[in-house]
A = this chain, B = another copy of it.
């Protein structure tokens, strides 16, 4: 029994971890997810020309985490869709965001103060999903650390990890980048989070699950609300990563001179077109939005 449980904070954390996510927090998750779908170039046009494809994309955005986790664990990827009420709620959110007369619903939910509340609520759901994913995988594979971490990660990242294929459904194909090669903040945070939750589940991290959920959720809320409000893309992990990664993973110029490898065939010099820019999808969309804002003025 950890010390923190005797403090009121422990009770707050326990109450927080026991909050039901359906329907309020889930609705916020769906709203933010479908908003990001609407921001994608061509999404509104697709909703008019191919409403079914638009709906399916929205379902991938809302339930991608469950689909991916089920795929990993060999369960039915469509299993979560047996929750009719969740699917109908997500469908209603999609319909209102894309087809509400005068675009009223969209204007309401994208009003910045409202949007920030929904963004915060989405992070509550995200962290819960990571914890549930690690817990579920632990139940199936008691000592499968990598399985637990992978399941928690896909539950937290959701549709982002299948972005290439979600884009393919919309008729867009960008193979030069993907969410694993260039991680956006939510994906990277989910990765670090799943490691923490796995360490907690396997008793290597001496903290209760409720406390970890509470603190990690607070961290995610602060970061995401700040990043959304300021349109910033600076990763809070960058300072630590810039210290550790050069030590662990070296740099291109050290230790692997290209000419030494020619005889043994290490074709590691970049002989194909320059690598994709380091910008993540968020940064690219941000640039597009700013240019359109300037154009409209």
Contacts and interface: CB of A to CB of B under 8 A. Distances in A.
Given A45-B268, A289-B262, A81 B175 contact: no
A72 to B, nearest CB: 5
Contacts of A140: 76
Contacts of A49: 275, 278
Interface string A240-284: 000001001111100110011111111111111001101000000
A261 B289 CA distance: 9
A89 interface: no
A162 to B, nearest CB: 12
A41 B270 contact: yes
A71 interface: yes
A178 interface: yes
A150 to B, nearest CB: 6
A172 interface: yes
Q: For the complex formed by this chain, how many copies does it contain in all?
A: 3
A223 interface: no
Interface residues of A, number: 97
A200 interface: no
A4 to B, nearest CB: 30
Interface stretch (A97-105, A116-124, A204-212): A97-105
A267 B143 contact: no
Given A81-B144, A143-B82, A252-B45, A171 B177 contact: yes
B264 A84 contact: no
B169 A181 contact: yes
Interface of A: 38-53, 56, 70-79, 81-82, 84, 87, 99, 101-103, 106-107, 110, 112, 140-141, 143-147, 150-151, 164, 168-173, 175-178, 180-183, 191, 245, 248-252, 255-256, 259-272, 275-276, 278, 285-286, 288-289, 292-293, 295-296
A-B pairs with the 4 shortest C-beta distances?
A44-B268, A82-B144, A74-B76, A173-B175
